[in-house]
């Protein structure tokens, strides 16, 4: 017998808690189910592997030696998330790879000289994820920014 059928049966035959009523029991059961669902949906995955490629948005050519910052968010406490960070440089084909022990969301940002920085936020659906980024050319943009701040500041605005 399913839980809902059991509760429905109790309420139809006279609630086991007549002084508080069956509506309260339904609300309590619904609250418990929603809490359990939210807890499960924020569960961390294990052995995370993040791969990707950084490309020129205009030409599609890979960008070697681009800086990439990957933040992997994990549940630190029941109501608190923290992140681990990997700072990488793309290889000659614009590829990068990062690994983490656990997490539920991955944020990736990249920048290269004469390109505007960009970022992408992705909730993990599995423990392996591919995040490709395309950078816009900007010949006037010649300085580097702190990519961790670029990711985290935007996230909390």
Q: Determine the structural domain holding residue 7 and report its residue range.
A: 3-41
Q: Output the domain CATH number for residue 138.
A: 2.60.40.10
Residues 6+ apart with CB under 8 A from 130: 50, 51, 52
> What confidence category does residue 44 fall into, taking pLDDT thresholds of 50, 70 and 90?
confident
Looking at the fold, whether 89 and 143 belong to one and the same domain comes out as: yes
Looking at the fold, whether 118 and 137 belong to one and the same domain comes out as: yes
Q: What angle do CA 78, 124, 98 make, to 5 degrees?
A: 105
Checking if the pLDDT of 5 tops 60, the result is no
Looking at the fold, whether 92 and 116 belong to one and the same domain comes out as: yes
Give this prediction's pTM.
0.67
**pLDDT per residue as tens digits for the range 45-100:** 888 999 999 999 999 999 999 999 999 988 877 667 788 999 999 999 999 999 99
Looking at the fold, whether 142 and 68 belong to one and the same domain comes out as: yes
Structure tokens at 126: 């599995």
Looking at the fold, whether 70 and 36 belong to one and the same domain comes out as: no
Q: Are 44 and 74 in contact (CB under 8 A)?
A: yes
Q: Are 79 and 98 in contact (CB under 8 A)?
A: no
For the chain, how many structural domains are there in total? 2
Looking at the fold, whether 65 and 104 belong to one and the same domain comes out as: yes
Looking at the fold, whether 126 and 58 belong to one and the same domain comes out as: yes
Looking at the fold, whether 123 and 54 belong to one and the same domain comes out as: yes
Beta bridge partners of 130: 51
Looking at the fold, whether 63 and 21 belong to one and the same domain comes out as: no
């Amino acid at each position: 017998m399913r839980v809902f059928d059991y509760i429905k049966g109790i309420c139809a035959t006279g609630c086991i808690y007549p002084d508080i009523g069956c509506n309260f029991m339904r609300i309590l059961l619904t609250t418990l189910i929603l809490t359990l669902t939210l807890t499960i949906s924020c569960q961390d995955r294990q052995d995370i592997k993040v791969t990707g490629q950084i490309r020129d948005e205009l030409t599609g050519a890979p960008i070697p030696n681009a800086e990439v910052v990957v933040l992997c968010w994990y549940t630190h406490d029941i109501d608190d998330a923290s992140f681990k960070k990997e700072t990488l440089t793309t290889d000659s084909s614009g590829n990068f790879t990062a690994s983490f022990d656990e997490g539920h969301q991955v944020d990736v940002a990249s920048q290269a000289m004469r390109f505007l920085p960009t970022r992408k936020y992705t909730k993990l659906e599995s423990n392996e994820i591919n995040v490709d980024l395309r950078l816009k050319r900007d010949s006037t943009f010649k300085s580097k920014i702190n990519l961790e701040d670029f990711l985290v500041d935007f996230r909390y605005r």
